[in-house]
Chain A
């Protein structure tokens, strides 16, 4: 247990790890999906796979916003950036996502007006201070981030800021989980539910997973002890033949979510009929578009976008990794053409992407050990 000693309460971690060994049936293979990219990062960072028995496999889920965004959407956003007088704004994660002709950062290096922001409110401020320019915010993220975008848009409307628009790439987690459950090549035994998304949506939306599909869901915190406890709670449910939604992260996640956040989401956004996800294809009602009442601040209403479907570079196997069919290092490009420094696929971009996390904590450390 290489990392255990630096954790808080290592003795408790060992106890939970021992309990996991007692509860898990050694004759059975367990496949548990952690939905959230933050959990994926934590699992690799803490080397949790080394703590768990070999017959418990963690499958990395779709909860990394830049990873699931198809390249055509990045291209659409960049097409606005190329317009006269436009300023493209986005979070840091988006800046390195490859588009067909390079990432936003590479476009910036070629002279396009592209700026990184830390908050959608920063993008709105840019619009306020540059009334002669059009400021577009490339919005991305699950339910954790979407309420911030909604409030920013409401603020733009309240102030009558006309030179601001939002390019919504917000997606919702529940339809993605449903698509995974319906996928014929996906055999999963349970889910580690996302932490911060659940502070917004609460725990009830996961109930169908337990009821209809008979799979346990445990909403989890991010510390090693949280994740191990959540895995133990899933294993106990499986041992007892139960399937329920449980909340391991109750110290932060209220069962009913955040009513104020859900209200602003419903005010500004509605579900798209369908949206394309990298690796998962088109999923119905899985993304948020801006309602017609706010069309004046909707990039897609204001501008005509190419809207082209762009396939990922042929050799890259992002889709298979996203679906859990391949491990990151089994992709042909992993660590060779595709590295965190020069990502070919989006999973290598964000620290929440399975490939970047694997590269940082497993691949690089393995290489260092081989040299030493």
Chain B
């Protein structure tokens, strides 16, 4: 549970600045970005997500590395299940692709 999930910010809705929409392997969900409010975030940035909250901003390379790590540890399916399971904000869009 201390392994984080990499996701790409695809939208930062100005009307709800606490939340951003992230995409993880084609799945879009809302996550809370309050813990990164000191960071200049923008669409396209990569973040590490933990229990519905973006914890750190990372590089694209770092995100690819984390994805590979989750797969190697056999945690990739559990990570997707977690992201798909986030239920706290109305789902903005379903699975893409």
Q: Would A260 and B35 count as touching, CB distance under 8 A?
A: yes
Q: Would B73 and A42 count as touching, CB distance under 8 A?
A: yes
* Distance to closest chain A CB from B10 (angstroms): 19
- The secondary structure that dominates the B interface is mixed
Is residue A199 contacting chain B, with contact meaning CB distance below 8 A?
yes
Q: Would A65 and B88 count as touching, CB distance under 8 A?
A: no
Q: Would A196 and B50 count as touching, CB distance under 8 A?
A: yes
Residues of chain A contacted by B50 (CB below 8 angstroms): 144-145, 148, 196
Q: Would A38 and B3 count as touching, CB distance under 8 A?
A: yes
Is residue B43 contacting chain A, with contact meaning CB distance below 8 A?
no
Q: Would A258 and B56 count as touching, CB distance under 8 A?
A: yes
- The number of chain B residues touching the other chain, given as a range, is 35 or more
Q: Would B87 and A125 count as touching, CB distance under 8 A?
A: yes
Q: Would B73 and A151 count as touching, CB distance under 8 A?
A: no
Is residue A343 contacting chain B, with contact meaning CB distance below 8 A?
no
Is residue A147 contacting chain B, with contact meaning CB distance below 8 A?
yes
Residues of chain A contacted by B27 (CB below 8 angstroms): none
Q: Would A121 and B56 count as touching, CB distance under 8 A?
A: no
Q: Would B58 and A151 count as touching, CB distance under 8 A?
A: no
Is residue A248 contacting chain B, with contact meaning CB distance below 8 A?
no
* Distance to closest chain A CB from B19 (angstroms): 10
* Distance to closest chain A CB from B4 (angstroms): 6
Contacts across chains A and B counted by CB atoms under 8 Å: 116
Is residue A252 contacting chain B, with contact meaning CB distance below 8 A?
yes
Q: How many residues of A contact B (CB 8 A)?
A: 47
Contact bitstring A101-112, B, C-beta under 8 A = 1, else 0: 000000000000
> A131 vs B78: C-alpha distance in the bound complex, in angstroms?
30
Is residue B34 contacting chain A, with contact meaning CB distance below 8 A?
yes
Which of A148, A264, A350: most chain B Cβ within 10 A?
Answer: A148
Contact bitstring A126-141, B, C-beta under 8 A = 1, else 0: 0000000000000001
* Distance to closest chain A CB from B70 (angstroms): 9
Task: Indicate which residue in B36, B48, B73, B82 contacts A118 across the interface (CB closer than 8 Å).
Answer: B82
Q: Would B2 and A151 count as touching, CB distance under 8 A?
A: no
Q: Would A8 and B68 count as touching, CB distance under 8 A?
A: yes
Q: Would A260 and B51 count as touching, CB distance under 8 A?
A: no
> A91 vs B59: C-alpha distance in the bound complex, in angstroms?
28
Additional A-B contacts beyond A122-B85, A144-B50, A258-B56 (9; CB < 8 A): A119-B52, A141-B2, A145-B50, A145-B51, A196-B3, A199-B48, A222-B69, A351-B73, A352-B1
Question: Could you pull out 30 A-B pairs where Cβ atoms are within 8 angstroms?
Answer: A6-B72, A65-B1, A91-B1, A118-B51, A118-B52, A118-B81, A118-B82, A118-B86, A119-B87, A119-B88, A121-B32, A121-B86, A121-B89, A122-B52, A122-B86, A141-B1, A144-B55, A145-B1, A145-B2, A148-B32, A148-B50, A151-B32, A196-B50, A222-B3, A222-B69, A223-B65, A251-B58, A252-B48, A352-B1, A352-B2
Q: Which 6 A-B pairs have the closest CB atoms?
A: A119-B52, A121-B88, A118-B85, A38-B2, A148-B53, A125-B88
